[in-house]
Amino acid sequence: MEESLDAIGEALSENGKVIVTGCLGAKEGVVAKVHPSVLAITGPHDTAGVMQAVHQHLPKPHDPYTDLIGVKLTPPHYAYLKISEGCNHRCTFCIIPSMRGDLVSRPIGEVAQEAENLVKAGVRELLVVSQDTSAYGVDVKYRTGFVGGKPVKTRMLDLCRALGDLGAWVRLHYVYPYPHVDDIIPLMAQGRILPYLDVPFQHASPRILKLMKRPASAEKVLERVRKWRSICPDITIRSTFITGFPGETEEDFSQLMQFIEEAQLDRVGCFAYSPVQGAAANGLPDPVPEDVKEERKQRFMLRQQEISRNKLQAKIGKTLKVLVDEPGVGRSSADAPEIDGVVRFKGGKPGEFVSVTIDRADEHDLYGRRL
Ligand code: SF4
C-alpha cells in the first residue's frame, strides 16, 4: 500500500492531475487522507466512474472509432489486454481475491475481438494481463467460443495462438509455472508471440512458499525454467520476489539466493515484505525485523543486478528488433513498458519497428545504432 501511495504522490508532483482507480480506491478514505488533491477516486472495475472523472476534468475528444474501443490510457502503439478478473488462489500476503472475488474469464471471442480492434487502430504491442494469466478459462471449464467464426477453447494456448495471428507483438504477464505453460513456449520459439514471460515466483524456499500459499510447486520451477530455455533459448524471464516474509530464516533466504544463482533470470524486482491490511499473513508467527528484511533485499538485489548486467552485456554486437516509444527510445522483445529497461539509439518515430545493433549496455538499458 505504501508503494501505491508513493506512486500517487509522484504522479501528483509530475502531472498535478491524478485519478486513482483500483483496489486502493475501494478503501474508503485511505487515498484522500494522504493525497487530498487527487481529482477522483474509484474502486476496481469502475470503468464508468473513471470515464466520468476523465470527462469531468478533460473535454472528451470525439473520435467515433476509438470511442467504440472504450477507455485506453496508454500511448497509441501499445495496449493492455485484460483477459480475466479475480483469482482462485489465496496467497496469504494478498487481498485481491477478497476484493475482486474468484477468477472470471472473459469470453475468448470478446477478448480476441478487442485485440483485433486495437491492432486495426494502430496498436503494435498487446500486453496480456490478469491476476493469473495461466488460469485463463479454468472457471468456465475451457468452454468453446468463436474467433473469426472458428470454434476455439477458452484457454491460454488457444488465446495465444489467436493473438499471435494478429501480427502485433504479444507479451504475457502474470503467468504461473504450471506444466501447461510449457505448451506456449514453442509459439515463442516460432516468433508468434514474444519470447517473454513475467512469472511472479516470490520465493524459492518450499517452506516459505507453503506459508505464502503460492500456486505451483517449488521443486519443479528450476526444471521448468531450464525446459523453457531449451525450447526457446532467447526467452526473457522476469519475476518478482519478497524478502523477509514472516518466518523467513537465514536458511530460507539462502535457498532464495541459490535459486537466483541457478535460474539466471533476466529481469527481477524485489520487495521487502510489508503487511497489507486484511491479509492472512499478518497472523503468521515470527515476523522478520525491518532491518533484516531490508538487508536481505539489498543482498538479493546486489547479486541479481550482476546477473542482469551480464545478461545485458551478452547482447552487445547483436541486432535487435525494437518498437519505438519515442524518438531515440524503444524496447526489444525483452523489455515490457514501464517495468523493464529500454534501448537507446538515434531517430525513430513512436510505433515504428526498427533494427538496432547494440554497442553498449549498462545495468538497465542498451545503447546502439539503427541499421
Ligand atoms: S498474489 Fe496470489 S492470491 Fe493474489 S492475485 Fe496473485 S495468485 Fe491471486
Rounded CA separation 194/190 (Å): 9
Strands 144-147 and 40-42: unpaired
89 Cβ below 6 A of ligand 1? yes
Query: What is the pLDDT at residue 62?
Result: 39
Joined grid coordinates for residue 276? 497489507
Residue 67 has a pLDDT of 37
Q: Does residue 209's CB lie within 6 angstroms of at least one atom of ligand 1? A: no
- How does DSSP classify residue 337? T
Query: What pLDDT, on a 0 to 100 scale, did the predictor assign at position 222?
Result: 92
How far from 47 is each of 41, 54, 73, 115, 276, CA to CA, in Å? 12, 10, 12, 18, 25
**Cα-to-centroid distance, 230 and ligand 1 (Å):** 28
pLDDT single digits (tens) 174-200: 999 888 999 999 999 999 999 999 999
Give the per-residue pLDDT at 66.
37
**What element of type H or E holds 359?**
strand 353-361
pLDDT at 365: 97
Task: Give the residue, by CA position, lying nearest to ligand 1 atom 4.
Answer: 94
Given this model, what pLDDT does residue 15 score? 65
CA distance 238 to 219: 19
CA of 88 to the centre of ligand 1 (A): 8
* Residue-by-residue pLDDT tens, the chain, 371 positions: 666 677 677 767 666 677 777 666 666 667 766 777 777 777 665 555 555 565 455 544 433 333 334 444 678 999 999 999 999 999 999 999 999 999 999 999 999 999 999 999 999 999 999 999 999 999 999 999 999 999 999 999 999 999 999 999 999 999 998 889 999 999 999 999 999 999 999 999 999 999 999 976 666 899 999 999 999 999 999 999 999 999 999 999 999 999 999 999 999 999 999 999 999 999 999 999 999 999 999 999 999 999 999 999 999 999 999 999 999 999 999 999 999 999 999 999 999 999 999 999 998 999 999 98
For 206-297, where are the E strands, in sequence order? 236-243, 267-272
Q: Which atom of ligand 1 is nearest to the CA of 132?
A: 7
Q: pTM for the whole thing?
A: 0.82
Q: How far apart are the CA of 284 and the centre of ligand 1, in A?
A: 18
User: From ligand 1's centre to the CA of 174, what distance in Å?
Assistant: 9
Whose alpha carbon is nearest atom 5 of ligand 1?
131
Distant-in-sequence, close-in-space partners of 360: CB < 8 Å, separation ≥ 6: 316, 366, 367, 368
